[in-house]
């Protein structure tokens, strides 16, 4: 800083300190249950992507060398072979001509077939979901490239464009008004009045009351409750209505924006979305420029968190504690996949523990205490074995030094 001042003096110019402000998205006061629901199971996500990569390979078999090249895109380090062997219930690894290959196990293929069956039976539901998204947009059009960012959140398969659009040609069509490949859009041809009913309106009709938002905050949050009651006193504005006459920044405009984000979250599988991805659609859905500020202003409706450096908004009323209330059939299948993965991980950990125990005996070291399979709950609600939990407290299964050596062997990259 002193050198910078001297340089400005030599040049004969006035030194003006440059203040750099770092902008960041804020988050809501932490809610343990919703933090648990928001925690992403990285192992589940990685294995799901590996599954899709293997399915796209010839004969649905991939060389481990090929999968190793994909590890960087999955934010993984280490050897792919070691990772795959940790999940024997999901991946079958075998040696052929001095090279390792991997294919999905029979239980895994059974779940893949079940998932495809669910996608087929859910096709009309997915078509209605896509129609509702287009009906929520300003021009009843959405860019295909940008929509691909959201496809898994809404349960759309990778091939949803060729799977759904041709079968519903009276409802959708592909258009490209600019001629650029990246400008391909899905346009709504048929407005369906029966679909232009939001989740808030449907719940109100069921209860025989006027549509209004619900607040899921504890009664001790007096000020947020007061602000919520004041906001809820304004009439509800359906996100499917034309908002062209609303003044930007007005209470009516805010009411409409809150209702639109509420409806978007309700249409997702897990009632949550990445705020960064959602902000990419500000123009298409007519959302306010300061989207995050609006979400934080309504903590009784939305929960905003920053976990794993991913800012996410979750719909509070979609959860009871940390449990998703209404589970889509696709969510049920994905949970089965998580259970299968956890079963294989336990088997792998148990074999490694026994191998480690044998090494201890050969070296004449006092054996470790037997591992009793205790089940805990991880942030996603899946069963987690004691060996998989790196947060053991002192006085648990092993003393600190012994436990450290145990995990070094258990999770090392050397086989």
Q: What integer is the mean pLDDT of 352-362? A: 76
In the beta sheet, which residues pair with residue 324? 319
User: Distance between CA atoms of 155 and 236, rounded to whole angstroms?
Assistant: 28
- State both tokens at 82: 């070691």
End-to-end CA distance of the chain: 52
* Mean pLDDT (whole number) for 384-399: 38
Reading the block at residue 110, the tokens are 């059974």
Res. 401 pLDDT band, cuts 50 70 90: low
Is the pTM higher than 0.85? The answer reads no
At 57, is the pLDDT very low, low, confident or very high (cuts 50, 70, 90)? Answer: very high
Is 10 a residue whose pLDDT tops 70? no
What pLDDT, on a 0 to 100 scale, did the predictor assign at position 13?
Answer: 46
Predicted pLDDT of residue 111: 92
How many Å apart are CA 390 and CA 8, to the nearest integer?
A: 54
Work out the pLDDT band at 32, boundaries 50, 70, 90: confident
The angle formed by the CA atoms of residues 276, 41 and 331, to the nearest 5 degrees, is 85
Token pair of 322 as six digits:
């940390």
- Residue 336's pLDDT band (cuts 50, 70, 90): confident
Distance CA(342)–CA(47), nearest Å, equals 11
DSSP 374-400: -EEE-TTS-EEEGGG-TTPPTTSSS-H
Average pLDDT value for residue range 355-360 = 76
Assess whether pLDDT exceeds 80 at residue 333. Answer: yes
List CB contacts of 56: < 8 A, sequence separation 6 or more: none
pLDDT category at 19 given cuts 50, 70, 90 is very low
Q: What is the reported pLDDT for 400?
A: 52
DSSP secondary structure code for residue 296 in this structure: H
Euclidean distance between CA atoms 256 and 261, whole angstroms: 9
Phi, psi dihedral angles at 7 (to 5 degrees): -60, -45
**Tell me, what's the pLDDT at 382?**
40
Per residue in 283-307, pLDDT tens? Answer: 999 999 889 889 999 988 999 988 7
Confidence at residue 193, expressed as pLDDT on a 0 to 100 scale: 94
Report the alpha-carbon distance of residue 153 to residue 399 in Å, rounded.
43
**Is pLDDT above 50 for 24?**
no
Residues above pLDDT 90, as percent of the chain: 39
| Statement: residue 317 has pLDDT above 80 | yes
403's enclosing H/E stretch is helix 400-410
Please enumerate in sequence order all residues whose Cβ is within 8 A of that of 378, keeping only pairs 6 or more positions apart, or say none.
39, 41, 384
Query: Is residue 349 predicted with pLDDT exceeding 60?
Result: yes
């Amino acid at each position: 800083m002193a050198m910078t001042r001297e340089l400005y003096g030599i040049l004969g110019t006035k030194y003006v300190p440059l203040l750099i402000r770092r902008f960041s998205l804020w988050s809501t006061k932490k809610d343990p249950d919703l933090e648990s629901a928001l925690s992403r199971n990285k192992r589940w996500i990685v294995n799901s992507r590996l599954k899709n990569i293997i399915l796209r390979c010839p004969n649905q078999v991939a060389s481990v060398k090929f999968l190793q090249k994909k590890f960087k895109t999955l934010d993984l380090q280490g050897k792919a072979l070691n990772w795959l062997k940790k999940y024997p219930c999901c991946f079958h690894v075998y040696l052929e001509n001095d090279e390792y290959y991997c294919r999905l196990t029979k239980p895994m293929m059974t779940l893949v077939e079940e998932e495809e069956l669910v996608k087929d039976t859910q096709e009309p539901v997915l078509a209605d979901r896509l129609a509702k998204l287009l009906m929520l947009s300003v021009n009843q059009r959405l860019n295909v490239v940008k929509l691909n960012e959201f496809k898994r959140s809404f349960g759309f398969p990778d091939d949803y464009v060729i799977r759904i659009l041709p079968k519903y040609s009276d409802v959708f069509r592909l258009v490209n008004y600019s001629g650029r490949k990246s400008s391909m859009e899905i346009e709504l041809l048929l407005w369906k009045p029966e679909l232009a009913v939001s989740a808030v309106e449907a719940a109100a009709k069921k209860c025989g009351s006027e549509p209004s938002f619900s607040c899921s905050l504890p009664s001790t949050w007096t000020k947020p409750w007061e602000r919520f009651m004041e906001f809820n006193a304004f009439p509800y504005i359906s996100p499917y209505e034309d908002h062209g006459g609303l003044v930007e920044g007005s209470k009516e405009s805010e009411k409409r924006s809150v209702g639109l984000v509420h409806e978007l979250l309700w249409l997702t599988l897990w009632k949550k979305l990445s705020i960064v991805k959602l902000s990419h659609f500000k123009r298409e859905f007519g959302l306010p420029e300061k989207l995050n500020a609006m979400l934080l202003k309504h903590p009784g409706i939305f929960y905003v968190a920053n976990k794993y450096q991913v800012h996410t908004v979750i719909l509070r009323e979609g959860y009871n504690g940390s449990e998703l209330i209404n589970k889509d059939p696709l969510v049920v299948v994905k949970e089965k996949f998580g259970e299968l993965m956890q079963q294989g991980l336990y088997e792998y950990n148990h074999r490694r523990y026994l191998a480690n125990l044998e090494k201890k005996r050969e070296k004449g070291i006092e054996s470790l205490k037997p591992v009793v399979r205790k089940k805990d709950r991880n942030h996603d609600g899946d069963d987690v074995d004691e060996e998989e939990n790196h947060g053991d407290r002192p006085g648990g299964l092993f003393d600190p030094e012994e436990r450290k050596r145990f995990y070094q062997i258990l999770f090392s990259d050397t086989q």
